[in-house]
Structure 1
Amino acid sequence: MDRNRLDLLIQKYIDRTATPAEQDELNNWYREFTGEADPYPMTDVQEAAAGQAMHAYLTAHIHRKKRPSLALYASLAAACLLGVILYLNWPKAAKNKNLVAVIPAAASENRFIYLPDSSKVLLHPGSKMDYRYNGNNREVTLEGEAYFDVASQPAQPFIIHTGRVSTTVLGTSLNIKAWNTDSVTVSVLSGKVQVTDAYQQKTILTPNEQVVYNQHTNNIQQVKIIPATVIAWAKSDMQFQDMPYEQLAQKLDRRYDVNIVFKNPALQHCPITGRFSGTESLNEVLDILSQTMGTTYSINGRTVELDGTACFNQIN
């Protein structure tokens, strides 16, 4: 494969525009380049971590509108390149209905994730999530803390595994906290869930109820909750005072894994004050910002373009 062709395929991977045939062509080049089909086997978590590291670098530099050079990729370790290809190959991941997400503990923003089944997840920094669909069940393995807004699919139960505790959902919103192997906290904000412990004891939770499992002593505590208190962490990165629109856009880039660009550069300096719950989708956030700031937006793949004439108001 000549350099121009390779550069083109790499750019298409980054832009999420590569066809299945082009994806296979680049994957075949990688195998030929290394001389082995899989020279550095990696776990799903390692693949996702490597992919996220490179994706963060590429996102930070894509506004320069420079085509990534072949030297950038040639300088990477083969294991990291494999991780990039697997991570950036989102269309194939969605088709297979599997997804791995790892959020570094040092991240300053929570991460909003759309699952292949249209469920929405807000993942706390330092958390890991592995989503799998086996044809019958939608299953998630979670380490850390996450807010779930589960798409209702009665024929395919949504099961969240946290240590020795499993939570079965048909369609609801809930928060799960499992930072260590001893304690799991399940809080229901809407709908109904069934929580099963290691001894097959089942607890049914309805809105505004919480159960705390001590997996070491098998102690169970069920209490009433105030939902806003349980998911207070979700809004920690969505409260801002007189923040320049450009700085907010950078936060949204990281939170929703997109690239926001300004058609009118003057908008970058507009001050914004806002308070969101933190569980809103990107479209919901952009709708509110557009109505308040008198701006418009368009989304093409993972690129969001903002446009407008002036700053005339702020969020109350």
Structure 2
Amino acid sequence: MKTPLSKEMLFTYFSGQATILQKQLIEEWLAGQESQEMYFEWLQEWENSHPQFLPDVDSAFERMQELLEAEEYKEEQAAVASRTGDIRNGFGTLGRWAAAAVVISGFTAYLFRDVVFYENYRTGYAENRTLALPDGSTVALHPNSGLKMLRWGFGWFNRDVALEGEASFVVTHRADNQPFTVHTPDHGKVTVLGTEFFVYSREKGTQVVLSKGKVRISSPEMAAPLDMEPGEKASIESTGEIDIQPLTTTERANPASWQEHHFRFDHTSLFDVTRELHSVFGLQTVIDDPSLAARQVTGTFKARQADELLSVLAEMLEMTVEVRSGKVYLVPDSLDTN
């Protein structure tokens, strides 16, 4: 009998913080029908408590209705009907079954509308993933990040995505100038037409770095949005205020530095360091040895992934990094774990 998964583990997965082992456990658990039903139930509960952005469903249906009422569409459907009329008449029963299937499908879509409307992409704390969007744009998701977008109609209804974490965007310009908008958990919005930019959205706030093109950034607390120019970085503070500054000479010379995390510690205990790792990468860390947890770190470190910083700390503090049951355990080198 398979061990049932906890709601907390699934919520960790939905937030993009699940480890590779946890993902494997969830995949095995989903083999059962009851598990799938519980999965969707908990997914809807999690998404209701973590709202990002909602589609303009009424507007979407209006555009669909306009398409159906267009003369060109009616003429095309009439031509198809004339060619397939005999076939349809010969399968009336099948048509009734198809209608029933549509009703059932509609009811299911209502129950799980978030799953039906949206596509969710998530990465683990040591995973990078590049996504090719339907409009030709590309997104490079960084570790412990998630992207949410319309499952169907992206590029027609809108080009809105919701980001939790960090990602680099290369946005394709549209002939109709349709904007591309990134929504962040602090209700900020980054709106562009065609550009290259990087977005960092964590508990500490949101940062945007613009490489090419033009970006308009806004937050609920700002009376008017602000425009960014290439070579600038913007921060949305916890108060909602937006601060735009030019990139430093180093940042201009090395664009990859935008995506590096700068950790500054001043006699910081390892316990507090692990709290910072959890905040940035979603890393679940355990330190059973109190003396190790109290060891202090001083210095400035750069790391794009948690593994990079952990390897440096392991050498400095003479400790071993172990991954067990989906968590990272830090133990002194002198401690026998067998």
TM over 0.5: no
Larger Rg: 2
Q: TM-score range by the shorter chain?
A: 0.3 to 0.5
TM-score for the superposition, normalised by structure 2: 0.42
The TM-score with structure 1 as length reference comes to: 0.44
